[in-house]
Structure formats: structure tokens, C-alpha cells
Amino acid sequence: MFFSATGKDSIVLLHLLQGQFKKVVCCFLYHVKGLNIVEPFFNWALSYGNIEIVQLPHTDLYNFKTQGLLSVKHIDGLKRLKLRDIEDYLKIKYQSDVVVYGMKISDSFVRRGMFNKAAKSEIHFDYDKYYPIVNWTNRDCLSYIKLHKLPEPLKLGSKRGSSGINFRPETILYIKEHYPADYKKIIKEFNLIEAKYGRG
């Protein structure tokens, strides 16, 4: 499964899957590796005993590195990776044909368009990708987390709800205030963030 670590959908999905499979591989796609903010969620996941976490570079890093987005350091010649490339790599490495996502129809209009045939199905699947909570709402996820006493998802400064780690202004400012060591790691990798938000 693809695992954002701090978001409610990933928390719910991991809890559902760990009780149904002998082994669950969680793929965490990072923008900056080694952030302290995700460690409590990794530790919680690993506490189940049948969870393995693999960390791989986020597909967005291609654009960041080659186009100089958020950083003056350009790296030419990088191979552009798509999510499908990561899926294929994981299938081969772990000898599995099951890839699971926590995407939901209620996430956005884009997601609603993606899953326009899923309204009547409990579990939507397409091209070997499975979406077990496709028809859940944010409220459903939060109620499930509360019912099973799972870790509270992080909002990271967002008023819209919990999410994974991203480069939205509210997220960067939240990390700068609450996780200063992580902020230093981020601006070391993406120095234009420091130019906008300060050294910390």
C-alpha cells in the first residue's frame, strides 16, 4: 500500500489491511528523507509485526531537481519516474500483484471523475490497483480512527483536514514552528524555502 504516514486515509487503510494479510508493505514516498515528524507513525505501523516500510523518493522530486523548483540546485539527466514505475518495482521486489491506495471519491472532483463507476462497489479496483475505502468520507475515516483508538492524523496547519507532508505554505510554517529540526533538513534540501520562510 502507498502510505502518507500522517494522513487519516493511510492510518485507516493500514489498520484494515494488517488484520487481513500476513504481510503488508507500506511504501512511503518522501520529498526529504529522515524527518522526525513521521517516526511516531512508522513506529505505530511496525508495532503490528506484519508491516514492512519501504521509503522511496517521491515522483515529484524529478520536477523539483531538474527544473530547480524550491532549490537553486539543478540536476540534469534524471530519469523521470511515474507512479506506475514505482508500482512495477514493488510488484517485482515483493512478488505481489496487489497495489492498494487510500484514495476516496470524496477527496476532490478529480477523484470523483477517476472513480465515476465506483459508486455502487464496496471495493473499487482498476488495472491491478485496489481502493478499499473509495466510498468512505473524511468523517467515516475519523470515526474509525476514534473507534479503534488509532493515532491522531496530523493536520500540519491545514484547515481542510489531515494530509501527508507537502510544500503548501501552511504545512511548511507548521513544520517550522513545531518540528524545527525537520525544517532545517527541508531547507538544506530545498534552499529557496529558506529564502521565503526564513532560517528557523
Distance CA 65, CA 72 (A): 9
Question: Would 167 be classed as within a structural domain?
Answer: no
Which grid coordinates belong to 105?
471519491
Quick: pLDDT tens for 118-164.
544 555 566 678 888 888 999 999 999 999 999 999 888 776 666 67
pLDDT at site 120: 47
Question: Would 193 be classed as within a structural domain?
Answer: no
**How many C-beta atoms lie closer than 10 Å to residue 126's C-beta?**
11
Question: Would 188 be classed as within a structural domain?
Answer: no
Question: Would 24 be classed as within a structural domain?
Answer: yes
Better-predicted residue by pLDDT, 80 or 192: 192
Question: Would 135 be classed as within a structural domain?
Answer: yes
pLDDT at site 78: 65
CATH number of the domain residue 47 falls in? 3.40.50.620
Question: Would 114 be classed as within a structural domain?
Answer: yes
Could you report how far apart the first and last alpha carbons of the chain are, in Å? 34
What letters, b where the CB count within 10 A reaches 16 and e where it falls short, cover 146-175?
eeeebbebbbbbeeeebbbbeeeeebbebb
pLDDT at site 113: 62
- Residue-number span of the structural domain to which 93 is assigned: 8-154
- pTM equals 0.84
When the pLDDT of each residue in the chain is averaged and rounded to a whole number, the result is 85
Q: What percent of the chain has pLDDT over 70?
A: 82
Question: Would 182 be classed as within a structural domain?
Answer: no
Q: In the chain, how many domains are there?
A: 1
Question: Would 13 be classed as within a structural domain?
Answer: yes
Quick: pLDDT tens for 62-119.
777 777 677 766 666 667 788 889 999 999 999 988 899 888 877 766 666 666 655 4
